[in-house]
Chains A and B, each alone.
Chain A
Amino acid sequence: MFDTLTERLDGVFSKLRKRGKLHPKQVDNALADVRTALLEADVAVEVADDLVDRVRSRALSEEVLKSLTPAQQVVKVMNEELTVTLGGEHRPFTLPGAPPIVVLLAGVQGSGKTTACAKLAKHLRSKGRRPLLVGADLDRPAAVEQLRTLGREIGVPVWSEGRDPIKLAKNGVKEAERTGADVVIIDTAGRLHVDPEMMKQARRIKDVTKPAHVLMACDAMTGQDAVIQAREFMHDVDTTGFILTKLDGDARGGAALSMTAVTGRPIFFAGTGERMDDLEPFYPDRMAGRILGMGDVLTLIEKAQDTVDAEKAAAAAEQMMKGRFNLEDFLEQLRQMRKLGPIQDILRMLPGVPGGKNAVKEMAEAVDEAELRRAEAMILSMTLEERRNPAIISGSRRLRIANGSGTTTADVNQLLKDFEGARKMMRSMMGKRLPGMAKVPGSQLKT
């Protein structure tokens, strides 16, 4: 998602890394490139300037310039300042007060409020809450209908009666009291921050429902206007935080940096897909690492802990690192990994090493799920013994495997050859332990 910004910054910093001692002029040149990279990522002009100024003043300190590894120090400073700009520590979304607790969603048209409402409802229900969705968007044709449909899909009640959004919102809270719902999520009409009437209406809805949270939905693809919107909404309805939507595209997400920077309010969640489950808590520090190409290993590990049997997996991995794995292990690992999500997504979360960022990306692009499935089919057509000891696979066995998996003997040959090659390479690579992983040279990346 932040691919391009990451690449740009990576280029800038790898230039810095090549130099031993830093001259202030070099830092300035690098930071000018950083500014352009940030602007290309839609970071607001004022926020980019502020960030660059902060990094410059810290980077030019004696401490950094005189250190043995000044370039790395600059990267470190950049990472810290980026984290600060993104909102510092992760702030969990909490719902204080006595039920029913009201959460109001606001934002401009098309920012993804209605979808975010439903996703949030689903998320809160998974945390043991009993949410009620209230459709107070009476402006956009069929908005309430959309909310009802989504509500049916996720099994959360939707209430919307009346023609005045303010009264409707108020009655929605009463409805929650009546039905025993403990969280009320109110979907409001999209409004442009320059429309005083509509902003007044939002203010009134807020006054009568007394929400614990006013969340602003913001499209990750928004440009320079994001800060203007964020400020206006903050001024009029006292936004408590943001939901960053449509982060699954290739938007570089500068809006995310900018909104928190100018309002001081955190991004609580990010919408990362079209399914109702695709809402993730937002971690500023991890996102900063991601932007700088340090990967998002923490999220990956958390995901892994949630889905795989760690001890079994660690044992299997140990085997692999010793170079003693067979096709059966491969099959098992493949399935475990698939539980984590699409392989491309996993690869993207990995740390980019200096100069290796493109390699990782190239790999992510080249991984073909269909090919993996074909490989899986071939392995499944083998006997247990064949999987454990591929050496015994003779010509007639190959034909049987090909027939069984709907492939050709040439495919089977290729699989076995690649597997043997991979095993050899793994063994030599793992000898160098983890950092060696990144040393797969780009020239060998052709299929």
Chain B
Amino acid sequence: MWWYVFVFGVLAVLLVLAGTMMIVRRRRAALGHPRVYPAAPEHPAPQRRAAPRAEAPASGGAFHGGGLGPTLRGLFHGGTTETTWQQLEDILLKADVGPKAASDMVQRVRADHPTGGNVIDTVRGEILSILGPDRPLALDGRLSVILVVGVNGSGKTTTIGKLAKRLVTEGRVVSVAAADTFRAAAGEQLEIWARVSGAQLIAQDRGADPGAVAFDAVKASEARGVDVLIVDTAGRLHTKQPLMDELSKIKRVIEKAGATVDETFLVLDAQTGQNGIAQARAFTDAVEITGVVLTKTDGSAKGGIVLAVREELGVPVRFVGVGERPDDLRPFDAGVFADRLLSPA
């Protein structure tokens, strides 16, 4: 319990500072002195440049931001130089591939690139080899269960609505369980999606135990002869251990109720930056992710983070969200993804 020492230390410093400041302030007030603000830095800081979007970025980088980004084909038109490799790396960086993965990829492309060949084809090939073959949905057995997890606002409920619609269209009997009992109106949102998709809704009141909802959902689905049960869970930041434990519990409860969780999908917003790796790792630790659903790919974000997720954790992308309509969920296509990643910003 060495940290006693530290706790004491912290307190001592903190309280002395707080006390001193308060006393000083009081004295100053008594003397009628004005508050003293910290002096300005010795070196005047340069004026911040607010760049309206039509202008080039403030920095003098060799590339251009906004919608004016160079296409890769244009970039390598005149052969490859040190600058073009740097530009290729920047394009990958801007797609959220991440500094390490981007630099590794450029290294590999440089090494593999045949003289006279097209650099874009080499890059595309690299991306495809990282992503591996596409993996269709694995649903078998009497009652298949799909658990859907992710951080807040990644698009879990919407994804479930679209996935349910898809499965119903394929002729399956689908039920959705509202195990997000935390967020206000999450149940109502899922209810509307159930109606749109033609799935059955299994829900309890807000604040109910999500494990209990999942248990009931399995029992009810079995009784009603459902083919696929999709379980919605509350959005949770992967750093909140109690919430991650709750997720493991939901999975255990489903298994205890006599079902197996066939797929566990992590819903990942395409805008997510490097934090996506931490998310994927934490959720995998808690519930063993079998796939990623990449949402909001209809924006300008490229979702390059899934490359790192695939490389580091081996988790493949399974579906992509491409719009707001109920039909806007598609099986992942690595070729389409690679083309989009390499398209102009």
Residues of A within 8 A of B (CB): 36, 39-42, 44-47, 49-50, 53-54, 58, 77, 80-81, 83-85, 87-88, 108-112, 139-143, 145-150, 153, 192-195, 219, 221-229, 231-232, 234-235, 245-246, 248-252, 254-255, 261-265, 274, 297, 300-301, 304-305, 308, 310-311, 313-318, 320-321, 325, 330, 333-334, 336-337, 343, 346-347, 350, 363, 366-367, 371, 375, 414-415, 418-419, 421-422, 425-426, 429-430, 434, 437, 440, 444-447
- Chain B residue nearest to A109 (CB atoms) is B296
New A-B contacts (15) at CB < 8 Å, excluding given A50-B57, A223-B272, A223-B275: A77-B43, A88-B45, A109-B153, A146-B186, A194-B300, A221-B276, A224-B301, A225-B270, A228-B66, A231-B66, A246-B151, A262-B50, A310-B15, A314-B23, A366-B3
Q: Is the pair A141, B14 in contact by a Cβ cutoff of 8 Å?
A: no
Which residue among B19, B155, B269 has the maximum number of chain A CB atoms within 10 Å of its CB?
B19
Q: Is the pair B96, A223 in contact by a Cβ cutoff of 8 Å?
A: yes
Q: Does B336 contact A (CB under 8 A)?
A: no
Q: Is the pair B99, A40 in contact by a Cβ cutoff of 8 Å?
A: yes
How far does the alpha carbon of A224 sit from the alpha carbon of B206 in the complex, in Å? 36
Residues of chain B in range 19-52 having any CB-CB distance to chain A below 8 Å: 19-23, 41, 43, 45-46, 48-52
Chain A contacts for B300, CB-based, 8 A = 192-194, 225, 228-229
Q: Is the pair B18, A313 in contact by a Cβ cutoff of 8 Å?
A: yes
Q: Is the pair B238, A261 in contact by a Cβ cutoff of 8 Å?
A: no
Q: Which of B15, B60, B152 lies in contact with A53, CB distance below 8 A?
A: B60
Chain B contacts for A40, CB-based, 8 A = 98-100, 274
Q: Does B142 contact A (CB under 8 A)?
A: no
How far does the alpha carbon of A310 sit from the alpha carbon of B146 in the complex, in Å? 54
Q: Is the pair B50, A142 in contact by a Cβ cutoff of 8 Å?
A: no
Chain A contacts for B41, CB-based, 8 A = 80
Q: Is the pair B189, A141 in contact by a Cβ cutoff of 8 Å?
A: yes
Q: What is the distance, in angstroms, from A65's C-beta to the closest C-beta of chain B?
A: 14
Chain B contacts for A223, CB-based, 8 A = 96, 271-276, 301, 305
Q: Is the pair A321, B12 in contact by a Cβ cutoff of 8 Å?
A: yes
Q: Which of A83, A219, A318 lies in contact with B45, CB distance below 8 A?
A: A83
Q: Is the pair B46, A42 in contact by a Cβ cutoff of 8 Å?
A: no
Q: Does B154 contact A (CB under 8 A)?
A: yes
Query: Which stretch from B87-95, B118-126, B216-224, B248-256 is at the chain A interface?
Result: B87-95
How far does the alpha carbon of A337 sit from the alpha carbon of B239 in the complex, in Å? 23
What are 12 A-B pairs at a CB distance below 8 A? A46-B61, A84-B48, A142-B192, A146-B184, A219-B269, A225-B300, A228-B66, A232-B53, A305-B18, A315-B19, A367-B7, A437-B9
Q: Does B111 contact A (CB under 8 A)?
A: no
Chain A contacts for B139, CB-based, 8 A = none
How far does the alpha carbon of A50 sit from the alpha carbon of B50 in the complex, in Å? 12
Q: Is the pair A314, B19 in contact by a Cβ cutoff of 8 Å?
A: yes
Contacts A108-B296, A311-B22 given; indicate if A419 touches B45 (C-beta within 8 A): no
Q: Does B183 contact A (CB under 8 A)?
A: yes
Q: Is the pair B185, A42 in contact by a Cβ cutoff of 8 Å?
A: no
Chain A contacts for B15, CB-based, 8 A = 304, 308, 310, 313-314, 316-317, 333, 336
Q: Which of B94, B152, B184, B299 lies in contact with A45, CB distance below 8 A?
A: B94
| Residues 202-243 of chain B, each 1 if its beta carbon lies under 8 Å from chain A, else 0 | 000010000000000000000000000000000001110000
Chain A contacts for B17, CB-based, 8 A = 297, 301, 304
Q: Is the pair A235, B52 in contact by a Cβ cutoff of 8 Å?
A: yes
Q: What is the distance, in angstroms, from A133's C-beta to the closest C-beta of chain B?
A: 12
Interface residues in B, total, Cβ within 8 A: 86
How far does the alpha carbon of A77 sit from the alpha carbon of B44 in the complex, in Å? 11
Contacts A232-B53, A262-B51, A297-B17 given; indicate if A192 touches B296 (C-beta within 8 A): yes
- Chain B residue nearest to A346 (CB atoms) is B10
How far does the alpha carbon of A444 sit from the alpha carbon of B274 in the complex, in Å? 34
Chain B contacts for A415, CB-based, 8 A = 1
Q: Is the pair A110, B269 in contact by a Cβ cutoff of 8 Å?
A: yes
Contacts A228-B300, A363-B3 given; indicate if A325 touches B93 (C-beta within 8 A): no
Residues of chain B in range 298-325 having any CB-CB distance to chain A below 8 Å: 298-301, 305, 324
Q: Does B58 contact A (CB under 8 A)?
A: yes
Q: Is the pair A317, B94 in contact by a Cβ cutoff of 8 Å?
A: no
How far does the alpha carbon of A192 sit from the alpha carbon of B301 in the complex, in Å? 10
Which residue among B51, B61, B100, B151 has the maximum number of chain A CB atoms within 10 Å of its CB?
B51
Q: What is the distance, in angstroms, from B267's C-beta to the closest C-beta of chain A?
A: 10
Q: Does B286 contact A (CB under 8 A)?
A: no
Contacts A88-B45, A110-B153 given; indicate if A142 touches B188 (C-beta within 8 A): yes
- Chain B residue nearest to A302 (CB atoms) is B18
Q: Does B70 contact A (CB under 8 A)?
A: no
Q: Which of B49, B193, B298 lies in contact with A141, CB distance below 8 A?
A: B193
Q: Is the pair A246, B237 in contact by a Cβ cutoff of 8 Å?
A: yes
How far does the alpha carbon of A347 sit from the alpha carbon of B6 in the complex, in Å? 9
How far does the alpha carbon of A147 sit from the alpha carbon of B184 in the complex, in Å? 8
Q: Is the pair B45, A426 in contact by a Cβ cutoff of 8 Å?
A: no
Q: What is the distance, in angstroms, from B17's C-beta to the closest C-beta of chain A?
A: 5
Q: What is the distance, in angstroms, from B99's C-beta to the closest C-beta of chain A?
A: 4
Q: Which of B10, B63, B188, B273 lies in contact with A254, CB distance below 8 A?
A: B273
Q: Which of B239, B274, B299 lies in contact with A193, CB distance below 8 A?
A: B299
How far does the alpha carbon of A320 sit from the alpha carbon of B8 in the complex, in Å? 8
Q: Is the pair B185, A343 in contact by a Cβ cutoff of 8 Å?
A: no
- Chain B residue nearest to A311 (CB atoms) is B19
Q: Is the pair A145, B185 in contact by a Cβ cutoff of 8 Å?
A: yes
Q: Is the pair B273, A42 in contact by a Cβ cutoff of 8 Å?
A: yes
Chain B contacts for A333, CB-based, 8 A = 7-8, 11, 15
How far does the alpha carbon of A36 sit from the alpha carbon of B191 in the complex, in Å? 45
Chain A contacts for B185, CB-based, 8 A = 142-143, 145-146, 148-149
Q: Does B68 contact A (CB under 8 A)?
A: no
How far does the alpha carbon of A288 sit from the alpha carbon of B182 in the complex, in Å? 34
- Chain A residue nearest to B54 (CB atoms) is A235
Q: What is the distance, in angstroms, from A75's C-beta to the closest C-beta of chain B?
A: 13
Q: Is the pair B3, A367 in contact by a Cβ cutoff of 8 Å?
A: yes
How far does the alpha carbon of A82 sit from the alpha carbon of B186 in the complex, in Å? 39
Q: Is the pair B22, A305 in contact by a Cβ cutoff of 8 Å?
A: yes
How far does the alpha carbon of A207 sit from the alpha carbon of B3 in the complex, in Å? 57
Contacts A308-B15, A314-B20 given; indicate if A39 touches B93 (C-beta within 8 A): yes
Contacts A45-B61, A46-B58, A222-B273 given; indicate if A112 touches B153 (C-beta within 8 A): yes
Q: Which of B8, B22, B271 lies in contact with A219, CB distance below 8 A?
A: B271
Chain A contacts for B188, CB-based, 8 A = 141-142, 145-146
- Chain A residue nearest to B183 (CB atoms) is A146
Q: Which of A143, A148, A363, A434 lies in contact with B6, CB distance below 8 A?
A: A363
Q: Is the pair A314, B16 in contact by a Cβ cutoff of 8 Å?
A: yes
Q: What is the distance, in angstroms, from A121's C-beta to the closest C-beta of chain B?
A: 14
Q: Is the pair A249, B189 in contact by a Cβ cutoff of 8 Å?
A: no
Q: Which 8 A-B pairs have the closest CB atoms?
A: A314-B19, A223-B273, A264-B50, A110-B153, A42-B273, A50-B59, A149-B184, A146-B185
Q: Is the pair B45, A252 in contact by a Cβ cutoff of 8 Å?
A: no
Chain A contacts for B269, CB-based, 8 A = 110, 219, 221
Q: Which of A42, A85, A111, A434 lies in contact with B274, CB distance below 8 A?
A: A42
Q: Which of B23, B93, B95, B152 lies in contact with A112, CB distance below 8 A?
A: B152
Q: What is the distance, in angstroms, from B67's C-beta to the closest C-beta of chain A?
A: 9
